[in-house]
Amino acid sequence: MEKILVIHPEKCVGCGSCELGCSFKQEETFNPSKSRVTVLRWLRESLSVPLTCLQCDEPACEKVCMVGAISKDAKSGLVSVDEETCVGCRLCVSACPFGGMNYDLEAKRVYKCNLCDGEPECAELCPTDALEFQPASESLVNRKKDLARRFTEIYKELM
C-alpha cells in the first residue's frame, strides 16, 4: 500500500468537516448521511472518533460477498465495490466490524470509502489533522491495527 488514511481520534473535535466534505465530493450534496466517513460522538464522554473503511488486510466485507462484488487491490490496498455486480444484499454492511460499509436506501446500493481516488477530501478538510493521508510505513500500519483493536474495546465499554 502506497498511502494510508490514518485516524487520530485524540485530535478529533467532532466538527463534521470530514463528513460534509466527503458527501459533497462523492454525492454533490452536503449531507452527512451520504458521507463515507462517520464521526461517532459520545457527548457525555467528550469523545469523537472519525470512522471510515480501514481497507483491512483481510476484509470481512469481501469474505461475505456472495457475488464477488467486493475486491482488494493488492498494489494500492484499496477495497472496492463493483456496483454493477452488487445485488444490494447488505451482508457486507453487517460484516464490517467498524461500520465502514454503508447502504443508500434511495439508490439501493452499498457504498464505502474509495480514498477519493488518492486524494481523500476528509483528510484535506480536517482542521485538526484527525484524519491524515500519509505514506504507508510499518509503524503507521501497526498503529492503525492497534487503533482498530482499541476502538473495539472502547466501543464495547460504552455500549
Average pLDDT over residues 102-129: 94
Write down the pLDDT at residue 36.
96
**pLDDT interval class at 140 (50, 70, 90):** confident
Give the count of domains, the chain.
2
Say yes or no to pLDDT of 34 above 90: yes
Tens digit of each residue's pLDDT (9 = 90 or more) over 81-93: 999 999 999 999 9
Write down the pLDDT at residue 71.
97
Kindly report the backbone phi and psi dihedral angles of residue 19, in degrees, each rounded to the nearest multiple of 5, phi listed first: -65, -45
Question: What is the separation of C-alpha 15 from the centre of its chain, rounded to a whole number of angstroms?
Answer: 17
Domain assignment of residue 141, yes or no: no
28 and 70 in a single domain? The answer is no
Write down the pLDDT at residue 1.
55
Average pLDDT over residues 25-43: 94
4 and 47 in a single domain? The answer is yes
Q: Which CATH number covers residue 6?
A: 3.30.70.20
70 and 105 in a single domain? The answer is yes
9 and 42 in a single domain? The answer is yes
60 and 106 in a single domain? The answer is yes
For residue 61, what are the contacts with CB-CB under 8 A and spacing of at least 6? 70, 79, 92, 93, 95, 96, 100, 101, 112
Average pLDDT over residues 120-134: 96
CB-based contact 69:91 (threshold 8 Å): no
Domain interval for residue 27: 1-52+116-134
Domain assignment of residue 149, yes or no: no
Write down the pLDDT at residue 99.
87
